Amino acid sequence: MTDEKYFDVLCKAFASLENKEDVHKFLEDLCTPQEIDALSRRLMVAVMLKKGDVYTKIVEETGASTATISRVNKTLTYQSAGGYDIILEKLSGETK
C-alpha cells in the first residue's frame, strides 16, 4: 500500500501543473514509457467502457488484456472513488 504522505505529495504535484505540456513533461520524468502506456491504456479502456463498447472492441482497439478491462470495469461499477467519473466528464466536455 502506498504511504499516504507520499501519495499526497504526488497528488499536490499533479494539481499544481497548469497545462497539458507540463503534465506531459512531468509524466515523462516520473514514469517509464511502459508505465505511461499502461496508464494511458487504462484510461482509454474507461472511456470506451463508459461509451458502452464491448470487451472485444476494447481489446482490438487498445490492446488491453481482458483482465485489465475487467479491473477497470469493476472500479467504474463498484469501487470507484469518483476519479474516473471526474476525468471522463472533463474529457467528454472537451470533445463536445
Total domain count for the chain? 2
| Helices and strands in the chain, H and E counts | 6, 0
Q: Is 39 helix (H, G, I), strand (E, B) or coil?
A: helix
In 5-87, DSSP assigns E strands to none
Do 14 and 43 belong together in one domain? no
Between 66-74 and 33-51, two packed helices, what is the crossing angle to 10 degrees? 60
Do 49 and 87 belong together in one domain? yes
Do 41 and 6 belong together in one domain? no
Do 26 and 36 belong together in one domain? no
Taking only the tens place, the pLDDT of each residue in 3-19 is: 889 999 999 999 999 99
Taking only the tens place, the pLDDT of each residue in 27-62 is: 999 999 999 999 999 999 999 999 999 999 999 999
CA gap 33, 24 in Å, rounded: 12
The three three-digit cell numbers of residue 61, written as one number:
482497439
Range of the domain at 57: 32-96
Do 61 and 95 belong together in one domain? yes
- Model confidence at 1: pLDDT above 70: no
pLDDT at 6: 94
The three three-digit cell numbers of residue 86, written as one number:
471526474
- Report pTM: 0.85
